[in-house]
Amino acid sequence: MQILFLMADGFEETEFVTPFDYLQRAGFEVALASVSGKAEVIGLRGLKIQTDFALSGADTAKFGAVLLPGGGIGVKNLKASADVEKVICDFNDQNKWIFAICAAPLVLSKAGILVDRKATCFPGCEAELVCNEFSEDRVVVDGNIVTSRGAGTAEEFAFECIAQLGGRELSEKIRKQVVAR
């Protein structure tokens, strides 16, 4: 399965790097789409990432999952993109996997896909989160959507994404491989 990461300037580095690394270790193909159209995206703390293509005009049909890293500035940039909202709505309509961490569930909320779902987000963002049930759990799965709370939950989030895509056995294999708790 191919997984599409939606990358915007101001992304939270840990929330990108950990899922990116672990999903690749699990054998999934990961592609990075630039929301701004620039080939290089810069994280909240200056990490520069070379993306694979611009999201605008890209064919996203081949992807089975989409992942949105958090980070306040990054999420603001994701929320401002009509292309991002279209991808999120298309994936949800097709019951494809949607993964969002930290403040990124606010992008899903803005797209209107959490109104009948349980979800979580970064502490303090829940006032903006329009969902059926807010949870303080570190990782929440509801149907085809996985949400998580922040950088400190990035590893658990990545393992849950792997479990949903490839099963618990694969997730545990990667957990042991990286000597996670």
Q: Where in the sequence numbering do the catalytic residues fall?
A: 102
- Per DSSP, 124 falls in state T
Other CB atoms within a 10 A radius of the CB of residue 157 amount to 29
What sign has the CA pseudo-torsion 157, 151, 133, 96? negative
Closest to 15 in 3D by CA, of 68, 66, 54, 56 = 68
Question: CA-to-CA distance for 64 and 70, rounded, in angstroms?
Answer: 20
Residue 88 tokens, joined: 């999120």
Residue 42 tokens, joined: 């810069």
Question: CA-to-CA distance for 45 and 92, rounded, in angstroms?
Answer: 31
Question: CA-to-CA distance for 57 and 173, rounded, in angstroms?
Answer: 37
